Amino acid sequence: MNKYVLSVLVENHSGVLSKISGLFSRRGYNIHSLTVGVTEDPNVSRMTIVVAGCEHMLEQISKQLNKLIDVIKIVSLDSVGAVYRELALVKVAMNQANQSIITETVNIFRGNIVDIDIKSMTIEITGDEEKISAFIDMMKPHGIKEIVRTGLTALERG
């Protein structure tokens, strides 16, 4: 199975997300990740939808999405013609023994420490899926308390 990234411009009003996610669930397609945010036009939102499947499934999804009145434009993105990013917040157990190691690792990955107390550190990290996963793997030995990931967001290059 291949992963496909769809950038979908939709009208920005209530119920659109529900219609689109309903379309996927009615057809038995799983959404790997979904991010939504308003664009430079406050009346338009951009959805970045990542799905796993075959080209036939992608074609069917695109046809069904195009039938929805709220959908303005659909673009299938690839890693060469687009910029992909993800954000993660990772809360790691911290003590005096591992604080400097965690801080060094955060710097190597160009992350930011966004919160710290005597028992934990919360780190913000952005990048592609592989970078986020590699950072999480590096933090596992220290004891990860919580993780939240945004899912992929993407824009066409140029």
The residue ranges of the chain whose pLDDT is under 50 are none
CATH topology for 2-77 is Alpha-Beta Plaits (3.30.70)
Find the helix or strand (DSSP H, E) in which 6 lies: strand 2-11
**Fold: same for 2-77 and 83-156:** yes
Q: Say what the pLDDT of residue 83 is.
A: 94
The CATH number of 83-156 is 3.30.70.1150
Measured in degrees and rounded to the nearest 5, phi and psi for residue 32 equal: -70, -45
CA distance 155 to 101: 34
For the entire predicted model, the pTM comes to 0.86
Return the pLDDT at 138: 97
Place of tokens 């993407």: 154
**Would you kindly state where each structural domain of the chain is located, as residue ranges?**
2-77, 83-156
Tell me the two tokens of residue 73. 């434009």
Query: For 89-117, what is each residue's pLDDT tens digit?
Result: 999 999 999 999 999 999 999 999 999 99
What confidence score (pLDDT) does residue 51 get?
Answer: 94
